[in-house]
Structure 1
Amino acid sequence: MATAEMQRANSQENAPRRRPISGPQKAAILFLCLGEKRGSSLMQQLDTEEIQHITRAMSGLGAISAEAVEEVMSGFSEEVTNGSGVHGSFTAAENLLRSLLPEDQVESILKDIRGPLKERDLWARFGSLNENVIANYLRNEHEQIIAAILGNVKTDVAAKVLPLFGKEKMQNVVERMIRMEAVPHHMMKQIEETLQADIINASAQPTKTELHQRMADLFNKLDRTEFDALSDGLEDRLPEVFGAIKQKMFTFEDLVKMDPRDLAKVMRGVAGNYLPTALRGASKEAREAFLQALPGRSRDMLIEEMETMGAVRRREVREAQAQLLDYARVLAEEDTIRLPINEEEDEMF
């Protein structure tokens, strides 16, 4: 007897120490043992914050030994010690949540569990890459990884990427996408971290088109005299590139080419004295086009404001005109107005 006790003591001393189980992990093991039906009724008694803590712990449990389960809840020892323990996974946590909470609340909790890298921004930026770039990046990956990644981008993006793999590989990836359940948390985290390092950071470098647009925006905000002084040299040294940049330029004077109703929307949305200041420094033709876009009473009020405001500095005029241009671009991005840029490309035949 003494020998047996000594052997057990030695065995316990030599056994690797298990990490202590936290409170949320103990609760997660309890819910896993209770199962979805009984666990659902118990979880309904908890608040959202408690549910988040337990679900987060459940998604990262992995395999739990029968010994650990018995330690957490001796009341269920008869059931769990006859088996091989339980297994916590993201899928188990998701199934339990969906059985007791509304869909929008479930998605909010799952999004929080997956961590900050699962934010829409990362997948939106990845999905905005050219389909050939995405396909080349994924080409040598395991088909299961490809399926997991394409399952997180927009369907129109995935539809462009899949055919680039060839018929056989596309077939295999699509089958895996159909059969695939929720991706385990640790795998999803690793995929997202890899995307962040390999694709998103690299894509931060501007493309030629983006660089041209940036230079066009810069030239738009330069004083006209300064821009004219630069133009001669750029025309001689970089004729093709400078020509492409000038096509993307959109100046204050170009605003008069807009539909009068769109121009009126721009004028109504600009705050403060920006509008009268901008028009004080505009050409006579541009000023008249702005005024004609307004109804009679608004036009008269604007004229009176311009006449009573006194002299304005050139710097103030440039700043005011830049404000109108920036606001016009915002409205155009929202599809509220249409800018007169590259209209020859939209010519109807």
Structure 2
Amino acid sequence: MTSLARYSEDLEVPPLSGGARAAVLLLALGSEGASRVLKHMAPNEIVALRQAAASLNEVLPEQIEAVVEEFSDTFKRGPIFPGPSQQMTKLLKSALTENEFQSLFPNERQDDIDRILYADTRNVWEAMAEMEGAVLAGKLSGEHPHIVALLLSKLPSDVAVTIIKACDPSMRNDIMRRMLMVKPLAAPVQALFETHVREAYLVTGDDADNGSSHMMLANVINRMDKTDGNELIEVIETDMPEDAEQLKKLLFAFEDIPTMPARARLTLFDGIAADTVIMALRGADETIRESVLAAHGARARRMIEAELGQNVQPLKQDIDAARREIANLALEMAGAGTIQLRDEEGSE
């Protein structure tokens, strides 16, 4: 319900009551101001306002002034807006078309918006900052140094210093060096990272997995741009070649499909909808396209090729989403032992 509608229910203004106060306030805004407010009101609220206005006779200037003053006082006393960022996002999405919103905020995909509005991940760093440094340092000893560097970069400097002091000296130097190279994470990767931190350090339980840090970093890299991901692997490979090799086994992107065994490609694409395949192949290079098409029967291949021949320009985010869906399924099937992502002897 809008703040205007809430105002109409509980305030006690002697000359007017109920929806009449909201109706008077809306009339006082004039046609231009009222039209902006009405856009954010539910149909039943608008009907109620009209009925309230119909019940009024002449409204005196003193009554209008009293209503405006009461509303102003209530607004100041609020909290009418529990979260300005959330309220503003909701307001913008209701006032703008989806294309307009995307053009203004290209980095905010729908899943990111939903996370901002509904997911309770924004206090994870406050909770981490309240933990005892020595205790947290002990828990972080099993993480990959780059994950620790990312985590510390999100904490207040005094908290980070306490944790670093409690770390093993050899790990401490590596972490500090990596902190100099930390770059801001993309929103989806940031959400994934926060989820890992919450589950690993803020949720009670003793089921931690020794390979969780490698899996976490692999999940991050799998969602990064291919070039950025390769650069990160090179950084890790310089000082920790064994860790880099473990990570490589967990990495897979849509661009890696040509390196898959032929049988694995057949199994993978047997469970993927044609529409997803077509979207993912938009703009793909010839090597990838041929590898994917070869995994389909003659009839399906002709249909996909016919669709790709159409002059269609889909959104890049839709193409990326389709490619990510295919890569995620490949990783899931590999984890279940259904397919191999690469020939064992051909692994680099």
TM-score computed with the length of structure 2 as normaliser? 0.35
Please say which structure displays the higher CA radius of gyration. 1
| Structure number having the greater helix percentage | 1
TM-score computed with the length of structure 1 as normaliser? 0.35
